[in-house]
Amino acid sequence: MEVSYVLVTGATGFIGAHVVDELLRRGLKVRGATRSMLKGKAMLEARPNFASKLDFVQIEDFEKMGVFDEAVKGVDAVIHVASPFTYNTTNNEKELIIPAINGVRSILQAAAKTPSVKRIALTSSFAAVLDVNRKAPPYFTYTAKDWNPLTYEEAISPITNAVVAYRGSKKFAELAAWSFIEDEKPSFDIVTLCPPMTFGPVVHPMPKVEDLNESNAMLWSIAKGEKLPVARVPFWIDVRDLAMVHVEALVRKEVGNRRFVPASPERFSYSMAAEIMRNEFEWARERVRVEEEQKADDSHGLDGEEVTRELGVRYRSFRETVVDLVAQAWELSKKTDES
Ligand SMILES: NC(=O)c1ccc[n+]([C@@H]2O[C@H](COP(=O)([O-])OP(=O)(O)OC[C@H]3O[C@@H](n4cnc5c(N)ncnc54)[C@H](OP(=O)(O)O)[C@@H]3O)[C@@H](O)[C@H]2O)c1
């Protein structure tokens, strides 16, 4: 599919910035949407070679219908990455669920008014796939056909914790996109991507290590010597591989209106991460805790191979991902300590 200018929402976030870089690497023009022009400016300053290929628009509140109307003008595809990803909430419906759904609706509505847009790739999540009540044995494998059975009422209930509410935000935002396609029959198609835990080095503006995004912060907490977190799922993907998946999903015409579950075939646990850190970094030998080993749950699987077959993306090893992130975060933490 002929794509030359792409709007990326969430362009100054962890995954979005890698998507921006992957598009630029392939010679495409990129418009990044961000809530903070300061972050947009920092992204531009860090990429002087792409000054003519990269621009930013500020979308302060992406929930309002109409906010993307100007931003989509002139682009021929969109990668919608932006969505709230935090477990630090006081009102899950207001902070997670409604913004996620309205963000999707507002970008799709803007694109539907813009005939140049041919495709929208959407960052959903394995959270929209996972069924916490589905237990092995017998062994089963999640695929892109599976949906989280969580109801809207359960997701917004005041007794629901932020982790479960986040899963609802991803499910109902993705469903809003599929309903839009069915009801409005716009001239573009969509591809949705449902990655599990995403880890790896950071390329978006991150002044201090405390600003690490939610998933990488779990790995960094181990490097700091904290108690091992509990892995809710044994599946993961490197952010650089995921960025490639987004771009392949945009340019391959034949995958229109498909849903994918990109994921490494290698399972992970946080004790594997701790062991990698102790083996690879001198400073981590004393610092990283040796606790009872957490075994990666191998009672069920997730079919990330379809992505390799159909989008041509292969997966990095967990070791490479952990080493690249932790080395970067360690250097940054030393700078913060010195200042
Ligand atoms: N990291 C993971 O493990 C993982 C796994 C599966 C799926 N995902 C999905 O990947 C996407 C990006 O997450 P991330 O890991 O890159 O986290 P992140 O760094 O926190 O990025 C979230 C992005 O969404 C934007 N955003 C959040 N709330 C917004 C709002 N109310 N209005 C406008 N923009 C908003 C942020 O914009 P600003 O930059 O302007 O602040 C940021 O760019 C999300 O859709 C998330 O659900 C993440």
Measured CA to CA, the distance from residue 144 to residue 260 in angstroms comes to 5
Domains annotated for the chain, with CATH where assigned, are 5-338 (3.40.50.720)
Please report the atom of ligand 1 found closest to the CA of residue 239.
Answer: 1
Distance CA 262, CA 304 (A): 5
Residue whose token pair is 């075994």: 295
Burial (Cβ within 10 Å: 0-12, 13-18, ≥19) of residue 63? middle
Site to substitute for ligand 1 among 35, 63, 83, 192, most atoms within 8 A of C-beta: 83
Would you call 163 exposed, middle or buried from its count of C-beta atoms within 10 A (0-12, 13-18, 19+)?
exposed
C-alpha separations of 257 from 249, 269, 280, 290, 299 in Å: 10, 33, 42, 46, 31
Q: Kindly provide the residue ranges of all beta strands, DSSP E only, lying in the chain, ordered along the sequence.
A: 5-9, 29-34, 54-58, 77-80, 119-123, 140-142, 189-193, 197-199, 236-238, 258-260, 300-302
Measured distance CA(105)–CA(66) in Å, rounded: 10
Residues 142-164 pLDDT 10s: 999 999 999 999 999 999 999 99
Tell how far the Cα of 275 is from the centroid of ligand 1, in angstroms. 29
CB 235 within 8 A of CB 196: yes
pLDDT at 43 exceeding the cut of 80: yes
Separation CA 109–CA 78 (nearest Å): 12
Q: What is the mean pLDDT of residues 29-39?
A: 97
Residue nearest atom 1 of ligand 1, based on CA coordinates: 198
pLDDT of residue 62: 80
The chain-wide mean pLDDT, for the chain, equals 96
Is residue 338 very low, low, confident or very high in pLDDT (cuts 50, 70, 90)? low
Which pLDDT score, from 0 to 100, does residue 283 have?
Answer: 96
Distance, CA of 257 to CA of 279 (rounded, Å): 44
Q: Considering only 79-83, 115-119, 137-141, 228-232, which range has the smallest mean pLDDT?
A: 228-232
Atom of ligand 1 nearest to the CA of 35: 40
Q: Tell me the best of 14, 64, 120, 206 to mutate to test the pocket of ligand 1, counting ligand atoms within 8 Å of each CB and taking the most.
A: 14
| Helix (H) and strand (E) counts in the chain | 12, 11
Distance 86 CA to ligand 1 centre (A): 9
Ligand 1 centroid to residue 15 C-alpha, Å: 7
* Span from the CA of 137 to the centroid of ligand 1 (angstroms): 34
Nearest CA to ligand 1 atom 7: 125
The residue nearest atom 11 of ligand 1, judged by CA position, is: 81
pLDDT at 336 over 80: no
Tell me the CA–centroid distance for residue 255 and ligand 1, in Å: 24
- Residue 201 and residue 187 in contact, taking contact as beta carbons nearer than 8 Å: no
Pocket of ligand 1 (CB under 6 A): 10, 12-16, 34-36, 39, 62, 81-85, 99, 123, 125, 170, 195, 197-198, 213, 215
pLDDT for position 290: 79
Residue entry with tokens 């391959």: 252
Q: Is 250 exposed, middle or buried (0-12, 13-18, 19+ CB in 10 A)?
A: buried
**Burial (CB count <10 Å: 0-12, 13-18, 19+), residue 45:** exposed
Q: 267: closest CA among 305, 312, 301?
A: 301
Look at residue 339 in the predicted model and tell me its pLDDT. 56
